[in-house]
């Protein structure tokens, strides 16, 4: 079905269904921000090892994004989404034997499997919402999806902490360092097994959602047909590597998501380095994501009436550069929202605002004019989500060697490239020798 034949009602229903999917994406994804310090304690890991959580979860995007596009091309959006939910369900159920044996490698396998399923869903949902309406307002629609996604991200770590952490855990964590291995083992076993019940529920819900999406009224959309204008422009194109704005956009996605995941998934450990207890530090990812939602709301109001998508990208990436300097160079402490912490952590929180409209602006710019290459182009952009796997590992390695605050310098080249894409890269249509 072409988007041009969808009624306003069908379009609204489709956007709502995709919004629910983005809520699920957010819930499953952003719970990693609390899993990282949780596994760090329960499985006795260093910073680098703890960020293997993000590596295992997001490297699946690199492996599965292109196969996902072929799967969707063969079976369609709805059956493909059902397959993604089933794989995510299997990954969630893997947490049960992993917790019984306190086996970190098995947890990573479960996270990888969840990521595989999510890669399929993202490959379907992102181009779907991009073409489900005028391209000039695509960033506006993606911003609405972002509110679903980040809203779930605010809830997920707080809900997980409420389910698996106890008020007495602060004392327990303080005592662990003074215990020998035999004393710690049963306490850590009990701590890690608290994930069994919530992930059993999550696995069941994901399985049911897969069936619901399969039989939902969500229409299939044909992305293979092109307008005459696009078909003529793409007549000499043989593969997606002949679209520079797409390739440069995939690199931009890689660096953007890496920078975004650092702002959310490292902030608890950064708070812990300031001697803030975990039960207090768990709130900081919610602050980052709240700042992101504020950015989304600004985007919904201003794009495209008052602000072009590309200008929103320029403003956000420029802000990211400024905040990187403030994070790494700031000194001194302040008390805000009941937390006494280094002032630099609040600049990390503000990265949520800088990151808010970047994803929403890159997608329509990178997919512009792809026509029959849209699904494969979308899969390449989804492959860029592997930045979530690699950039945090670099941060973790730097943090282990020179400190958690100075490790945030990794953000500077990320935002510098994103600013270049906003200024020039998105407009390049032919490679130059």
What CATH number is attached to the domain comprising 177? Answer: 1.20.1250.20
Q: Do the domain assignments include residue 23?
A: yes
**DSSP-assigned letter for residue 166:** -
For 223, the 3-state DSSP assignment is coil
Contact indicator for 254, 425 with CB cutoff of 8 Å: no
Q: Do the domain assignments include residue 333?
A: yes
C-alpha 310/C-alpha 138 separation (Å) is: 12
Encode pLDDT of 362-405 as tens digits.
Answer: 988 898 888 777 777 877 888 888 888 889 889 989 998 999 99
Burial 166-176 (b: 16+ CB within 10 A, else e): eeebeebbeee
Can you give the pLDDT at residue 135? 66
Domain count across the chain: 1
Q: What is the span of the domain harbouring residue 54?
A: 3-220+240-427
Q: Do the domain assignments include residue 227?
A: no
Can you give the pLDDT at residue 412? 96
Mean pLDDT of 111-116: 92
Residues of the chain above pLDDT 90, percent: 31
Using 50, 70 and 90 to split pLDDT, how confident is the model at 2?
Answer: very low
Using 50, 70 and 90 to split pLDDT, how confident is the model at 1?
Answer: very low
Q: Do the domain assignments include residue 273?
A: yes
Long-range contacts at 9-13 (CB < 8 A, ≥ 24 apart)? 10/217, 10/219, 11/132, 11/133, 13/217, 13/218
Residue 187 CB burial class (10 angstroms; 0-12, 13-18, ≥19): middle
In the numeric block, which tokens belong to residue 419?
A: 């600013």
Encode pLDDT of 202-233 as tens digits.
Answer: 899 899 988 887 777 666 665 555 555 555 55
Q: Do the domain assignments include residue 154?
A: yes
Contact indicator for 86, 64 with CB cutoff of 8 Å: no
Can you give the pLDDT at residue 45? 87
SS3 content of the chain, % helix, strand, coil (to 5): 80, 0, 20
Range with the poorest average pLDDT among 30-34, 124-128, 149-153, 218-222: 218-222
Encode pLDDT of 299-327 as tens digits.
Answer: 888 887 888 888 999 999 999 999 999 99
Q: Average pLDDT, whole number, for the chain? A: 85
Q: Do the domain assignments include residue 230?
A: no
Q: Do the domain assignments include residue 253?
A: yes
What's this model's pTM, rounded to 2 decimal places?
0.78
Can you give the pLDDT at residue 141? 78
Q: Do the domain assignments include residue 353?
A: yes
Q: How many CB atoms lie within 10 A of CB 76?
A: 14
**DSSP-assigned letter for residue 179:** S
- Return the closest-CA partner of residue 46 out of 100, 109, 104, 101: 104
For 144, the 3-state DSSP assignment is helix
Residue of higher predicted confidence among 146 and 5: 146
Residue 428 has phi, psi (to 5 degrees) of -75, 120
Residue of higher predicted confidence among 200 and 216: 200
Q: How many CA atoms lie within 13 A of 9 on its CB side?
A: 1
């Amino acid at each position: 079905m072409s988007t041009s034949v969808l009624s306003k009602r069908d379009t609204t229903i489709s956007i709502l269904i995709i919004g629910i999917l983005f809520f699920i994406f957010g819930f499953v994804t952003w719970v990693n921000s609390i899993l990282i310090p949780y596994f760090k304690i329960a499985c006795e890991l260093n910073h680098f090892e703890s960020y293997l959580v993000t590596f295992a979860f997001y490297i699946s995007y690199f492996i599965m994004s292109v196969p996902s596009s072929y799967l969707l091309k063969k079976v369609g959006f709805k059956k493909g989404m059902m397959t993604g939910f089933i794989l995510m369900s299997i990954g969630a159920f893997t947490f049960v034997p992993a917790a019984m044996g306190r086996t970190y490698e098995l947890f990573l396998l479960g996270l990888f499997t969840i990521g595989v399923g999510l890669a399929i869903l993202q490959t379907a949902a992102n181009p779907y919402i991009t073409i489900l309406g005028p391209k000039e307002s695509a960033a506006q629609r993606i911003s609405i999806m972002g509110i679903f996604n980040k809203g779930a991200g605010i809830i997920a770590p707080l809900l997980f902490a409420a389910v698996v952490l106890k008020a007495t855990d602060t004392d327990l964590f303080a005592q662990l360092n003074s215990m020998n291995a035999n004393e710690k083992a049963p306490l850590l076993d009990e701590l890690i097994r608290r994930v069994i019940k919530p992930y059993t529920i999550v696995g069941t819900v994901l399985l049911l959602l897969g069936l619901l999406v399969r039989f939902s009224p969500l229409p299939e959309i044909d992305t293979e047909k092109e307008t005459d204008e696009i078909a003529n422009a793409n007549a000499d194109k043989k593969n997606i590597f002949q679209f520079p704005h797409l390739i440069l956009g995939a690199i931009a996605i890689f660096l953007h998501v890496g920078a975004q995941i650092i702002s959310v998934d490292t902030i608890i450990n950064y708070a812990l380095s300031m001697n803030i207890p975990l039960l207090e530090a768990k709130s900081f990812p919610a602050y980052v994501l709240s700042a992101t939602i504020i950015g989304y709301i600004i985007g919904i109001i201003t794009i495209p009436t008052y602000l072009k998508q590309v200008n929103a990208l320029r403003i956000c990436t420029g802000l990211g550069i400024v905040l990187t300097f403030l994070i790494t160079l700031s000194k001194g402490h302040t008390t805000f929202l009941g937390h006494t912490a280094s002032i630099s952590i609040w600049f990390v929180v503000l990265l949520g605002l800088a990151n808010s409209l970047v994803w929403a602006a890159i997608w329509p710019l990178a997919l512009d004019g792809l026509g029959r290459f849209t699904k494969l182009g979308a899969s390449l952009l989804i492959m860029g989500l592997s930045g979530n796997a690699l950039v945090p590992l670099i941060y973790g390695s730097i943090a282990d060697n020179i400190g958690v605050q100075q490790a945030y310098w990794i953000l500077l080249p990320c935002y510098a490239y994103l600013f270049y894409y906003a200024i020039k890269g998105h407009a390049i249509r032919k490679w130059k020798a």
